[in-house]
Structure 1
Amino acid sequence: MKYFLTLLAALVIIIHSAPIVAEQPTVLIMGEDSDGDSIPRNSQVYGRVINAISGQLQRNGFSVIDETLATVDNYSQGQSRRTDAELMKIAQSIKTPPIDAVITFTVFPTFRADRTTAWMNVLIKSRLINVSTHKILATVDRELPEYVETEPKCDENRQCAFKYVGKYARKLGQDVGSALAIKLRRVTLQDGTAPSSSLKQAALQQAYTLTFENFNIQEFNKIEECLVAFTGYNTHKLLLNTSRNMVVWYKTKSDDVRLKRNLRRMLEYLDVDGQLQCVNKTCKLTKI
């Protein structure tokens, strides 16, 4: 027991003594058009909005991934009316590089017709979502300050509607992107880490499912102490706890490589033989 406490104390000193810096999040921008009243994502309007949001994020130092280039080998292109579940599945499947956050947006035109012309407004609704935890980090909605004139019966003509929505898509997209960049910056700084620090940290909170097999109760207690001591620890919850197995939902700001290395090193602190298997954010540590 004394040996374990000495090793655990050394682990805490090592992983907390180095300064910490968070990476900038890698962002994927995706058009969400499952609502039948929205503009479909295969229109030019969506391209203008994506470029506008992307430009604002890049100006603020964030890395933006092109969905088409990242998914061209594994997914059918040009699909429209995709659900939230489909969007998240695609985002989680991209591994080079892994996606930290997804920005989804929807474009809604609204019309008011009178005897002279059709008046139009445009609303862009957006969400910023943590890909790992599925937490909605921010929402931004932007619309024109007033209705603008279009053409008679433009509300009944799909191409006319697209033409006039397209005139304002870039400006609204820039407003949305600028606000999202500010909110994303705020999220990455919430842990209060210093910008001059040198120890890598994940850009956003990451959620892992950790399974520990064939350990006894005393070893489980030591495992929990180590998990709490690891760099970037936020919280954890026991999903399954039996006499020989434990499943933990683990939330952390640790970068992926460091966390998995710490799990391997934990076997030494426990003084047991074991194997670690990980696929993405799911890991299983088995005592041999």
Structure 2
Amino acid sequence: MKFFARTCAALLIAIGLVAPAAAQSDLGRRNVTVMVFSDDADVDTIPRDNRIFNRVITQLQETMNLRGFQVFDETSTTMGFTDVNRTRRTDAEFLEISRSVTPRINVAVIFQIYASVVRSEHANILRPKVRIAGRMLNVHSGQFIGAFEVAEFPLQPLPRSCTDSECLLETIGAEARMIANALGETLADKLEGFVVADEAAGAEGTAVAATAAAAPAPDCAGMPDTFVLRFREFDDDQINQFEPIMSKFGCYTGHATLRSMRGLVEYTYNTSSGDGRMSRNLRLLLDYLGTKGTVAQTGNVFDVTQIRTR
């Protein structure tokens, strides 16, 4: 009976779903959650309570959304526990916020807006000058994903009558919106290239042990991620089985030992399976070992503790 249970656990770990080939790229994007932030810590940048900021962030969100990513609005998801009117924030604040919200956010898109009006050298002509820089970070691992900057290019001169703040905000905002669209498309291209397409991933994850037969490759489309797996209260014989089994989990790309001592072993584990599948695989690992235990998750850290009895 125990052999049957272990065989079932092995097969469950190995078996996944394969998306149709034509839908791989779309599936990868749909599995990625994004939140857009304005880095206005530099006093020369446009702050988040500005009309130009509103047009830029809306355009960035719209562009990422139309490209198939799951975009969540910061204000809507954090208004219950943050000051949504706070300005001049840093990266540390963005990451802490994005790690605290539900649903889980994979990518923070962070942008800066620089805008001004310059006078031409030889004629009394005023031109808006806009530059928007953006970068992307993996929220939970801190991994840098990509960056791009849409620098100023020749913009149309301001009308002579455009001297009040209302006209300047509207005119510069319209230019900034177009630049934000170009930035959003480029960042989406970079993120799309970073996302794992489920074409060959998991091809070797078709057997957990000798008891598991070959099975289809699991659905691995989505963000590559790094988890910390911490195993407590396991004996040496059980620990010796961890690495061969974990390397057969679907969507596995690599692992390394962080520390190891009697009764405790800790790994970094690279995968594109997502935390839901990771949690399930760890529970199935306990079943495969024929033992009982708990699986707890805090952020990207999984604590697996064996329940020991006499």
Shorter-chain TM band = 0.7 to 0.9
Determine the structure 1 residue equivalent to 2:145: 137
- Do structure 1's residue 48 and structure 2's residue 48 form an aligned pair? no
Determine the structure 1 residue equivalent to 2:172: 165
CA distance in 2, matches of 1:201, 1:17: 9
Determine the structure 1 residue equivalent to 2:282: 263
Map Cα deviations across residues 225-284 of structure 1 (whole Å, 9 max, x no partner).
221111111222222211221122222111322211211121222233322222332221
Going from structure 1 to structure 2, the CA distance change for 1:204 and 1:129 (only over 3 Å counts) comes to same
Quick check: 1:88–1:131 contact (8 Å CA) kept in 2?
yes
Determine the structure 1 residue equivalent to 2:129: 121
Determine the structure 1 residue equivalent to 2:23: none
Going from structure 1 to structure 2, the CA distance change for 1:129 and 1:167 (only over 3 Å counts) comes to same
Give me the TM-score of the superposition, normalised by structure 1.
Answer: 0.84
Compute the displacement of 1:207 (Å). 2.2
CA distance in 1, matches of 2:110, 2:260: 37
Compute the displacement of 1:217 (Å). 2.8
CA distance in 2, matches of 1:214, 1:91: 33
Compute the displacement of 1:151 (Å). 8.2
Residue aligned with 1:229, SS = coil
- Do structure 1's residue 274 and structure 2's residue 293 form an aligned pair? yes
CA distance in 2, matches of 1:132, 1:232: 18
- Do structure 1's residue 27 and structure 2's residue 26 form an aligned pair? no
Which has more strand, going by share of residues? 1
Same amino acid, percent of matched pairs: 26
Q: Which of 101, 108, 111 does residue 102 from structure 1 map onto?
A: 108
Compute the displacement of 1:79 (Å). 0.8
- Do structure 1's residue 236 and structure 2's residue 241 form an aligned pair? no
Going from structure 1 to structure 2, the CA distance change for 1:190 and 1:261 (only over 3 Å counts) comes to closer
Aligned letter for 2:131?
L
Quick check: 1:130–1:136 contact (8 Å CA) kept in 2?
yes
Determine the structure 2 residue equivalent to 1:214: 233
Compute the displacement of 1:18 (Å). 4.1
> Which range is displaced more, 26-35 or 185-194?
185-194
Quick check: 2:198–2:220 contact (8 Å CA) kept in 1?
no
Give structure 1 stretches of 5+ with no counterpart. none
Aligned letter for 2:136?
L
Map Cα deviations across residues 128-151 of structure 1 (whole Å, 9 max, x no partner).
222122212121211332265448
Residue aligned with 1:58, SS = helix
Residue aligned with 1:264, SS = helix
Determine the structure 2 residue equivalent to 1:57: 64
Compute the displacement of 1:73 (Å). 0.5
Determine the structure 1 residue equivalent to 2:10: 11
Determine the structure 1 residue equivalent to 2:22: none
Residue aligned with 2:137, SS = strand
Aligned letter for 1:70?
T
Residue aligned with 2:266, SS = strand
Map Cα deviations across residues 41-82 of structure 1 (whole Å, 9 max, x no partner).
110111101111122122222221111000011111111110
Aligned pairs, number: 280
Compute the displacement of 1:208 (Å). 1.7
Give structure 2 stretches of 5+ with no counterpart. 20-26, 202-215
Aligned letter for 1:66?
D
Quick check: 2:198–2:219 contact (8 Å CA) kept in 1?
no
Compute the displacement of 1:85 (Å). 0.5
Quick check: 2:17–2:219 contact (8 Å CA) kept in 1?
no
> Which range is displaced more, 51-60 or 180-189?
180-189
Give me the TM-score of the superposition, normalised by structure 2.
Answer: 0.78
